[in-house]
Amino acid sequence: MKPYFGLARYDGNEPLFNLVEMSIISTLAGEPFHLHAEGLRGTGKTTIMRASRELLPKIKRIAGCIYNCDPKAPICPIHRNMSPEEIAALGTEEIDMPFLEISHSAKVGTVAGSIDLAKITNADNPQAALLPGIIPQAHRGIIFVDEINRLADTSPEITDILLDVMGNKPGRLQIEEAGLPTVEITVQVSVWAASNPDEDPGPLEEVRRQLSDRFDMVVFMGRPTSEDMIVKMLEGSDRAKRVYLDPKAYEAKNEEFRKQIVEMAHSYRNTELPDFLRNFIARIYIKHNLESIRAIEAIQQGAVLYSTLKKHKQIMINDVIEMLPLALKHRVEGDTLLKIMHGLESRTSRDSILNIKDRRSAKPVKEREEAIFDGGARRLKDIGRQEIIATEKALNPKDA
């Protein structure tokens, strides 16, 4: 597999690179961020996602804990009732952030957990114990599912497990085995998935709409449209012309990016969306009768992460707009999405989504606004989107 930083980037796949890096930042910061990449076969969806494991930073866990318990917030049945002093006595260790995959041949016990046969068949000391599955072992890391639409069609039991894990942040997992008490644990894991909507059984939102809604962002992989880019990609795959890949050079890039991820995760923890942008998102939700609260939560989380990734000095309206189609594509009809995006381009205060004035109470609102916006200041509703963006670029020339 090619190194992550050796993969060709173009307009069609740049959003997936951004989302993958944003999800790693968010996961390290303690907040899952679920991604779904759609596209035709051979467009590089799984290649990008699998190659990104090179970037994963270290996490600290209680020494030997297969559940990857954070020493400050243990969640597993073994450590969650221990005192800080008892946990300190166990010690800690650093491991790579988990990156595990769920295959289409996986069983419920493999994914959630099952009886530990090694312990129960121990002749000297037989005991009934639980062996955690893929999901609890991926706690504080990432789970990847290829062809998620086919898994949703053929494995409804595993799909139900994913629905619980992705339903909240953090999620929950209930493990049930005959002869053992039911175990419920909290899991903090980002789920990544890939699929080809043109292949059977079809797009995920048509196969299992509930699971589709659980993904914060969905990106469609586009084809490269530049001849120069195609030639560059072919040269990279031609054995006769392939440039020697120095593993040390790429590892240096990976290490540098890991350091940046740690810094960006810290920045993300301490950054909040400005109130006027939160109101902007709320206005979209109300005006267009959106159903899913998860959609606007994803837009908010994505805007903060995108701003953090691009190192903007402050979160801008463009950061929100960048996330809108990714968060809404799988949740609204195509006509609705086009209407929303068209409304953002409108320059008139009457048609613009930025028009926060309630026409039913025009006079009282105007009086209140004029009392607040004095000294020559202008109201947000009177400023077109392009003018806002231009003002942001003027105030933040380095972010433009």
pLDDT of residue 244: 56
For residue 132, which of 152, 150, 116 has the smallest C-alpha distance? 116
pLDDT for res 24: 98
Matching residue, tokens 């890096």: 21
pLDDT number for residue 385: 58
**Residue finishing a domain among 218, 237, 256:** 237
334 located within any domain: yes
Residue 67 is assigned to a structural domain of this protein: no
Same domain, 197 and 306: no
CB 328 within 8 A of CB 295: yes
> Which phi-psi region, left, alpha or beta, contains residue 91 (left: φ > 0; alpha: ψ -120 to 50)?
left
Spell out, as residue ranges, where the chain has pLDDT lower than 70: 115-129, 178-180, 236-246, 346-400
Question: Does 326 share its domain with 190?
Answer: no
Q: Could you give the residue ranges of the DSSP H alpha helices within the chain?
A: 14-28, 45-51, 84-90, 108-111, 117-120, 134-137, 148-154, 156-167, 204-207, 209-214, 227-237, 247-269, 275-287, 293-309, 317-328, 334-345, 362-372, 385-395
Q: Are residues 230 and 287 in the same domain?
A: no
Q: Dump pLDDT digits (tens) for 130-152.
A: 778 999 999 999 999 999 999 99
Domain boundary among 185, 208, 237: 237
Q: Assess whether 152 and 231 both reside in one domain.
A: yes
Query: Shortest CA distance to 385 belongs to which of 318, 322, 327?
Result: 318
**Residue 203 and residue 298 in one domain:** no
User: Is 174 a domain residue?
Assistant: yes
Q: Give yes or no: residues 133 and 280 share one domain.
A: no
Question: Is 331 part of a structural domain of the chain?
Answer: yes
Do 204 and 156 belong to one domain?
yes
State the pLDDT at residue 315: 94
Category of 119 on φ-ψ map: left (φ > 0), alpha (ψ -120 to 50) or beta: alpha
Residue 164 lies in a domain: yes
pLDDT at 366: 43
Q: Are residues 305 and 380 in the same domain?
A: yes
Give residue 376's pLDDT: 46
Angle, CA 69 vertex, CA 301 and CA 49 arms, to 5°: 50
Which amino acid is residue 181, in one-letter code?
A: P
Query: Ramachandran region of residue 315, left (φ > 0), alpha (ψ -120 to 50) or beta?
Result: beta
The CATH number of whichever domain residue 19 belongs to comes to 3.40.50.300
pLDDT of residue 116: 54
Residue 290 lies in a domain: yes
- Among candidate residues 237, 252, 287, the one where a domain is terminated: 237
pLDDT at 182: 78
Range of the domain at 205: 4-57+97-237
C-alpha dist (Å) from residue 396 to 323, 386, 392: 20, 15, 6
At 129 the three-state DSSP class reads coil
| Best CA proximity match to 278, nearest among 325, 307, 320, 337 | 320
Amino acid identity for residue 194 in this structure: A
pLDDT at 265: 96
Q: Are 304 and 273 in contact (CB under 8 A)?
A: yes
Closest CA to 20 of 66, 54, 43: 54
CB 98 within 8 A of CB 141: yes
Looking at the structure, do residues 119 and 183 belong to the same domain, yes or no? yes
Query: 381 and 312 share a domain?
Result: yes
Number of domains comprising the chain: 2
Strand partners, 175: 183
CA-wise closest residue to 90 among 117, 116, 61: 61
Q: Are residues 40 and 161 in the same domain?
A: yes
d(CA 193, CA 38): 9
Whether residue 24 lies inside any domain: the answer is yes
Torsion angles phi and psi, residue 330, rounded to 5: -95, 5
Q: What is the pLDDT of residue 76?
A: 87
CA dist 336 and 288 (Å) reads 8
Q: What are phi and psi of 209, to 5 degrees?
A: -60, -35
> Is 73 inside any structural domain?
no
Contacts of 171 (CB under 8 A, 6+ apart): 32, 164, 165, 186, 187, 188, 189
Neighbours of 350 (CB within 10 A): 9
Same domain, 217 and 322: no
DSSP string computed for 43-107: SSHHHHHHHGGGG--EEEEETT-TT--BTTB--STTTTT--HHHHHHH-EEEEEPPEEE--TT--
Q: What is the pLDDT of residue 344?
A: 83
